Amino acid sequence: MSTADRPNASAPAERLASACRSAGFVRLTATADGDALAALGTVGAALRTVGVPFQASVAHVPTAEPAGGTDADATVVFGAAPTDATVAVADGPLSATAYDAVRELGAEPDSMLAVAGSIAGGFTPGGDAPFYDAVESRTERRPGVATPVTAVADGLAHTTLVHAGFSGSEPAATDALGARSLPDDTSADAADDRRRLASFVALRAVADAPDRAAERVERALHPYVGGPFETLGGYADVLDACARVAPGTGVALAIEAARTDVTDAAGDLAHASDALEAWREHGRTAHARLRDATTARHGGLFVVRAGDAAPLGTVARLAYEFRSPEPLVLAVGGGKAALYGDRAAEVARAVAADDSRATGRATTGYVDGIDAETAEREVRAAT
């Protein structure tokens, strides 16, 4: 899908480029997800190339201005639309808009990062993900499962593209593979083994799951191989994980990955090792919190009480895709809430009170500053 295929796609990119071009100092901020992080990294790298100073950050519910204020000439927000932002890019894929804006600035964006960001935003390579034609010669589809590593047990345990019995535990994944005589490394050219692995993962993911799981698990299968993290789906998962549990690492990784002098190998990225550790932490925590959570089911709503320090956005998404019989999931904990599913963004904004803040887009919604009981009560009332 090209830029021309998206209605008014060039308008936000032109506004973004114009704001950055005329600024002496730019503040970039993004919501805590892989698409927004990729967009931030793409623009941040371009600003570095053209010599414009900038500050970059990631937040659950971002604002244009930090608590202490800023002397930025332009504030750019990816993933949300606060009224005080100079430019807000809230419609996805955010990384595609950033890609267009960087070209408007006269810099050369990295198409692999843009495609990975769009995948993190739920778009499909070769289908509705923009710029796939720019990376087609650098990637290929093959049987198997989309992870950022070649070690299969490591990949299955920590990916958040799937939730199954082995998820979150590398020993459990190792045992499951051994019980079916499946290999623990995908680096060898063994297409039959990779097909068997994909079938195993698909069957485990849909067992006792809602009907939508059969569609959602397809994102993890028949991956596009290439980029700095083995597969594009794995790359997207790493970006999403970093945005949620290690934003500092994520910002550094995304800006570095956007450099055109970095080749398609994780070893060329100084922050790749830290990013993979963040990905593992994110996977372990998200799967464990979902598995151990107290849940409740109401008409049209599935509630997951995930506790403090959980990556709520991921917990909500995984619950929707692989656990919930209802069309909307609410995950709560630590004074925050995340929604995933039908009308998620609309509901999040509806329940935010004077002492809380909300944002969201498409099927995701986030609320900061709300306790679990209030969130559940207000979301039930709103739905």
According to the model, what pLDDT value does residue 353 have? 86
> DSSP string spanning 125-153?
TTTTSTTHHHHGGG-EE-SSB--SSSBHH
According to the model, what pLDDT value does residue 253 have? 97
Cβ atoms 22, 73 nearer than 8 A:
yes
Residue scoring higher pLDDT (347 or 136): 347
> Closest Cα partner for 274 from 310, 307, 245?
245
According to the model, what pLDDT value does residue 3 have? 38
According to the model, what pLDDT value does residue 128 have? 66
Q: Is the dihedral of CA 267, 268, 271, 275 positive or negative?
A: negative
> For the chain, how are helix, strand and coil distributed in percent, rounded to 5?
45, 15, 35
* Tokens 């892989």 -> residue: 34
According to the model, what pLDDT value does residue 188 have? 60
Tokens of 135: 């990376």
Mean pLDDT confidence for 295-306: 97
Cβ atoms 40, 30 nearer than 8 A:
yes
Q: Which of 69-73, 164-168, 313-317, 346-350 has the lowest mean pLDDT?
A: 69-73
pLDDT band of residue 264 (cuts 50, 70, 90) is low
Q: What is the DSSP letter of 46?
A: H
pLDDT tens profile 368-378 = 999 999 999 99
According to the model, what pLDDT value does residue 2 have? 34
According to the model, what pLDDT value does residue 11 have? 80
* Positions of E strands within the chain: 26-31, 54-59, 74-78, 87-89, 140-141, 224-225, 294-298, 301-305, 328-333, 336-341, 357-361, 364-368
Q: Is the dihedral of CA 305, 307, 313, 314 positive or negative?
A: negative
Q: Which of 145-154, 238-247, 308-317, 348-357 has the lowest mean pLDDT?
A: 348-357
Share of residues in the chain with pLDDT > 90 (%): 79
Cβ atoms 383, 300 nearer than 8 A:
yes
According to the model, what pLDDT value does residue 115 have? 93
Cβ atoms 197, 144 nearer than 8 A:
yes
According to the model, what pLDDT value does residue 7 have? 37
Cβ atoms 372, 362 nearer than 8 A:
no
3-class secondary structure, 26: strand
Cβ atoms 366, 336 nearer than 8 A:
yes
Cβ atoms 240, 33 nearer than 8 A:
yes
Q: What is the CA radius of gyration of the chain?
A: 20
Mean pLDDT confidence for 188-209: 91
Which amino acid appears at position 52 of this protein?
Answer: V
Tokens of 382: 């709103």
Q: Cα–Cα–Cα angle for 303, 306, 310, nearest 5°? A: 135
The answer, yes or no, to whether residue 379 has pLDDT greater than 70, is: yes
Mean pLDDT confidence for 183-201: 85
Matching CATH number, 293-382, of 3.20.20.70, 2.160.10.10, 3.10.20.30, 3.10.310.40: 3.10.310.40
Tokens of 330: 């609410």
Mean pLDDT confidence for 254-282: 84
pLDDT tens profile 64-120 = 776 555 689 999 999 999 888 999 999 879 999 999 999 999 999 999 999 999 999
The overall average pLDDT reported for the chain is: 91
The answer, yes or no, to whether residue 223 has pLDDT greater than 60, is: yes
Each domain of the chain, given as residue ranges in start order, spans: 3-138, 143-222, 293-382
The answer, yes or no, to whether residue 144 has pLDDT greater than 60, is: yes
According to the model, what pLDDT value does residue 63 have? 82
pLDDT tens profile 120-141 = 999 887 766 667 777 888 899 9
pLDDT band of residue 216 (cuts 50, 70, 90) is very high
The answer, yes or no, to whether residue 262 has pLDDT greater than 70, is: no
Q: What is the DSSP letter of 93?
A: P
According to the model, what pLDDT value does residue 56 have? 96
pLDDT band of residue 190 (cuts 50, 70, 90) is confident
Mean pLDDT confidence for 205-232: 95
